[in-house]
């Protein structure tokens, strides 16, 4: 599904928030590195997708009315077998319905559990004066302790992306801290440029969040994605 289709669907339903599945589909169509994520309407479908992508998997509530999925008990990670997936499917729906009784539920998203990497966040907000602004920083629990972030106005040149990465203190984590292997910094910089290109090409995107992104010795991957559309096209 391209962004245009996701936008048309969201507009026709009078909503501004794309679900994680819609956002990731649109980003994947633009070649951004996101974990392939498919929507299941039944526990049988969830089990079939899990078998397809391979265990362990992660299951998440998919609703345009739920922004923070973990907050409502809507995320289950490290599901190791079919029984765990079926149980998670039922529990996630029950938890979401209890927390947000009026929520429109699309289903449960099933995706492969990505291996642990250095956690990063990439975000875009739209400033009334400067237009889209990209935020980049370290993610995970540390982000709550230290505000380790860099900002740049779109469009980003490769040199801007390099500067952003080297501006944050967490660059040390990417360069191989305490015997850990170094991460693929070039892939991180490429991702920042891709995000810049994506929002430049799609002015209907008012906010974009990739939180978290995992960086590895080879490549990066976003395991969560959120897109908020502007009020008007």
Binding interface with ligand ADP (CB under 6 A): 35, 58, 60, 68-70, 75, 77, 111, 113-114, 212, 223-224
50 binds, among ligand ADP, Mg ion, none (CB under 5 to 8 A by kind): none
Give the nearest residue (CB) to Mg ion: 224
Chosen from Mg ion, ligand ADP, none, partner binding at 111 (C-beta under 5 to 8 Å by type)? ligand ADP
**β-pair partners for 124:** 134, 208
**Shortest spacing between CB 162 and Mg ion, in angstroms:** 26
Cα 24 to Cα 41: distance, rounded to the nearest angstrom:
18
Q: Which does 132 bind (CB under 5 to 8 A by kind): ligand ADP, Mg ion, none?
A: none
The entry of Mg ion, ligand ADP, none near residue 165 (CB within 5 to 8 angstroms by kind) is none
The stretches of the chain forming alpha helices (DSSP H) are 3-12, 20-29, 43-53, 82-99, 141-145, 158-167, 171-174, 185-201
Task: Count Cβ atoms below 10 Å from residue 140 Cβ, excluding itself.
Answer: 17
How far apart CA 36 and CA 221 sit, in angstroms, is 10
Question: CB under 5 to 8 A by kind: which of Mg ion, ligand ADP, none does 60 bind?
Answer: ligand ADP
> What is each CA distance from 140 to 20, 118, 211, in whole angstroms?
19, 9, 9
Q: How far is the CB of 223 from ligand ADP (least distance, A)?
A: 4
**DSSP-assigned letter for residue 67:** S
Residue number, 14 or 115, with CB nearest to ligand ADP: 115
Closer by beta carbon to ligand ADP, 113 or else 168:
113
Minimum Å distance from CB 130 to ligand ADP?
26
CA angle 230, 141, 80 (to 5 degrees): 90
Q: In the complex, what is the shortest distance from the CB of residue 70 to ligand ADP, in angstroms, rounded to a whole number?
A: 3
Closest CB 154 distance from ligand ADP, rounded Å: 23
Closer residue to ligand ADP in complex, CB, 15/162: 15
Q: Which helix (H) or strand (E) holds 101?
A: none
Q: State the Cα–Cα distance between residues 55 and 129, nearest whole angstrom.
A: 46
**CA–CA dist 183, 187 (Å, integer):** 9
Sequence length of the chain is 233
Nearer to ligand ADP, 27 or 58 (CB): 58
Residue with tokens 């302790």: 145
Q: Residue with structure tokens 């892939």?
A: 187
Q: Which residues bind Mg ion (CB under 5 A)?
A: 211, 224
53 binds, among Mg ion, ligand ADP, none (CB under 5 to 8 A by kind): none
Least CB distance to Mg ion at residue 225 (A): 8
Nearer to ligand ADP, 23 or 156 (CB): 23
């Amino acid at each position: 599904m391209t962004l245009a289709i996701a936008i048309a669907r969201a507009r026709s339903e009078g909503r501004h928030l794309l679900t994680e599945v819609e956002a990731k589909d649109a980003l994947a169509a633009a070649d951004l590195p996101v974990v392939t994520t498919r929507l299941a309407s039944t526990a049988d479908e969830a089990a079939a997708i899990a078998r397809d992508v391979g265990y362990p998997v992660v299951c998440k509530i998919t609703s345009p009315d739920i922004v923070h999925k973990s907050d409502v008990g809507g995320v289950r990670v490290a599901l190791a077998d079919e029984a765990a997936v079926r149980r998670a499917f039922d529990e996630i729906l029950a938890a979401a319905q209890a927390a947000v009784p009026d929520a429109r539920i699309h289903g449960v998203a099933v995706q492969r559990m990505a291996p642990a990497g250095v956690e990063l966040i990439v975000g875009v907000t739209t400033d009334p004066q400067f237009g889209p602004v990209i935020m980049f920083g370290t993610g995970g629990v540390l982000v709550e302790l230290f505000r380790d972030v860099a900002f740049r106005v779109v469009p980003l040149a490769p040199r801007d992306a390099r500067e952003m990465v080297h501006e944050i203190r967490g660059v040390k984590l990417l360069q191989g801290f305490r015997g850990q292997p170094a991460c693929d910094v070039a892939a991180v910089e490429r991702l920042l440029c891709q995000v810049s290109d994506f929002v430049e090409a799609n002015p209907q995107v008012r906010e974009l969040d990739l939180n978290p992104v995992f960086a590895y010795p080879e490549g990066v991957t976003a395991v969560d994605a959120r897109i908020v559309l502007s009020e008007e096209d």
